Amino acid sequence: MNIEEDIWKLRNQINEDKEFFWSHPEKGLKEIETSNYIKKRLINMGYKAIDDKIYNTGIIATLYGKENGPCILFRTDMDAVCMDNTGRLKHTCGHDAHMTIMLALAKLLIDNKDKINGTVKLLFEPDEEENGGAKPMIQNGALSNPKVDKAFAIHMWSEFEEDTIAIKDGPIMASTDPFNITIYGKSGHAAIPQSCVNPIYIANKIIEEINIMEKNINNTNKMLVLGITSIIAGNNNNVIPENAYLKGICRTYDNNLRCDIKEKLKDLIERVATSMNGKAHIEFISEYPATINSYEEAKTIEELSKKIVKNVVTDYKTMCSEDFSYFLNEVSGALIFVGCKKNQYYPQHNENFQVGENPMLIGVQIFYEIVKKYLYKNF
């Protein structure tokens, strides 16, 4: 990896920041210590324009350059996601490393403020893993005053070795639409099923129809994950329950297909339930669109990445999801995968997952290259 001297000089602070975030994991919308630490670090660096009222524990620090120019937003997530086998919350998706990278970038920017021809927004987003902080932050003005022209984010990624960056244009992460289905039947004695409406039978039929829908769509070469992941109904051998409950997920790279599937699911469950003398209702929760990188920005980052790492992957996408998609729905930009796999592989959300120093240095370098590309004078 090729890391410039100014970033190497930040190694001690990088490791100190990472240790703090790793040691203080907090759930979404409860990142109190995390938020306070970030604010203190930014203030000590000399940042004046810090908005900590944008949304819950979220923060936006704005740095105005010496001259006018574009406004570039960098985003990091803040929340921890996984409980280990002792019940302790842990950073097992790389958000601690993401915040560390952002603070290192903040230091580089303010130390080189006079070189910046434009504006930088550093956005720290809460609650990415659960309900998503991106959408409410945008609704509260994160992309305005000044108007953001481009947005970028990094995600540490366990599928790639260290010294690897993955970047491509177009869809790179799927949409996610988790859903809950409530089926309303008519309870009664199991000995007289003709007087009841068994919601379990309705649930079975809905599951069968959903499987058929998924297979038919995938047969058209459109990639879709659609399935039921939980079923809860009844607790007695001799009683037909009143209700049944299903949980499921829909994921696709096509935002138009995503909207179409949601409507088809609603029609399907209502049609099946009605045909069997019951009723059903579907509720979608924590919905994220597909993450779609802009062509120009992805190609630019591809070229910048070749200066930093040995391996640049340009054909990778995953069915995992990210609410950075909301930013890319509004402005051009890209999400960048930085490899963090070591000799022993632990996937994202595994309790043993952790990010080392080298991927963070690479993350700082690629963010800094983006700043120099779009904002530095005479670069």
**236-250 core/surface letters (b: 16 or more CB in 10 A; e: else):** eeeebbbbbebebeb
218 and 130 co-located in one domain: no
Residues 6+ apart with CB under 8 A from 6: 108, 111
131 and 246 co-located in one domain: no
* Average pLDDT taken over every residue of the chain: 96
In whole angstroms, what is the distance from residue 374 CA to residue 149 CA? Answer: 11
Secondary structure tally for the chain: helices H, strands E: 10, 18
CB 277 within 8 A of CB 197: yes
Structure tokens at 298: 């992805």
161 and 82 co-located in one domain: yes
Relative to beta strand 164-166, strand 332-341 is: antiparallel
Its domain, for residue 360, covers 5-171+291-375
Which pLDDT value is given to residue 71? Answer: 98
- pLDDT (tens digit, 9 = 90+) per residue, 220-263? 777 899 999 999 999 999 999 999 999 999 999 999 999 999 99
Which pLDDT value is given to residue 378? Answer: 62
- The CATH number of the domain holding residue 79 is 3.40.630.10
- pLDDT (tens digit, 9 = 90+) per residue, 311-346? 999 999 999 999 999 999 999 999 999 999 999 999
365 and 336 co-located in one domain: yes
265 and 322 co-located in one domain: no
11 and 145 co-located in one domain: yes
CB 339 within 8 A of CB 157: yes
* Residue where a domain stops, chosen among 284, 318, 352: 284
Structure tokens at 207: 């599951």
- pLDDT (tens digit, 9 = 90+) per residue, 111-133? 999 999 999 999 999 999 999 99
- Confidence class for position 218, pLDDT limits 50, 70, 90: confident
Q: Count how many domains the chain has.
A: 2
In whole angstroms, what is the distance from residue 65 CA to residue 93 CA? Answer: 33
14 and 125 co-located in one domain: yes
11 and 99 co-located in one domain: yes
143 and 9 co-located in one domain: yes
234 and 296 co-located in one domain: no
Structure tokens at 258: 């995503």
- The CATH number of the domain holding residue 258 is 3.30.70.360
284 DSSP β-pair partners? 179
158 and 210 co-located in one domain: no
201 and 227 co-located in one domain: yes
* Residue where a domain stops, chosen among 268, 284, 300: 284
* Residue where a domain stops, chosen among 264, 284, 304: 284
In whole angstroms, what is the distance from residue 368 CA to residue 379 CA? Answer: 12
Inter-CA distances, 171 with 138, 294, 340, Å: 21, 9, 22
- Residues 201-218 have a mean pLDDT of 96
